[in-house]
A and B are shown apart, each in its own frame.
Chain A
Amino acid sequence: DQQVKQNSPSLSVQEGRISILNCDYTNSMFDYFLWYKKYPAEGPTFLISISSIKDKNEDGRFTVFLNKSAKHLSLHIVPSQPGDSAVYFCAASRLQGAQKLVFGQGTRLTINP
Chain B
Amino acid sequence: DTGVSQDPRHKITKRGQNVTFRCDPISEHNRLYWYRQTLGQGPEFLTYFQNEAQLEKSRLLSDRFSAERPKGSFSTLEIQRTEQGDSAMYLCASSLTYRLAGGTGELFFGEGSRLTVL
- The interface of chain A, by Cβ under 8 A from chain B, is 4, 6, 32, 34, 36, 41-46, 49, 51, 89, 91, 93, 95-96, 98-106
Contact = CB atoms under 8 A, between A and B. Distances in A.
Given A89-B42, A89-B43, A42 B111 contact: yes
A99 B42 CA distance: 17
Interface residues of B, number: 29
18 contacts: A4-B42, A32-B104, A34-B105, A42-B112, A43-B6, A43-B110, A44-B91, A46-B108, A51-B103, A89-B43, A91-B42, A95-B103, A96-B98, A98-B48, A98-B56, A101-B45, A104-B42, A105-B41
Contacts of A42: 111-112
Interface of B: 4, 6, 31, 33, 40-45, 48, 55-56, 91, 93, 95, 97-98, 103-112, 114
Nearest to B41: A105
A99 B105 contact: yes
Contacts of B97: 99
B30 to A, nearest CB: 11
B33 A100 contact: yes
Given A41-B114, A100-B48, A34 B106 contact: yes
A100 to B, nearest CB: 5
Contacts of B114: 41
B45 A100 contact: yes
A46 B109 CA distance: 8
Contacts of B110: 43
A2 to B, nearest CB: 9
A101 B98 contact: no
Given A42-B111, A49-B106, A103 B43 contact: yes
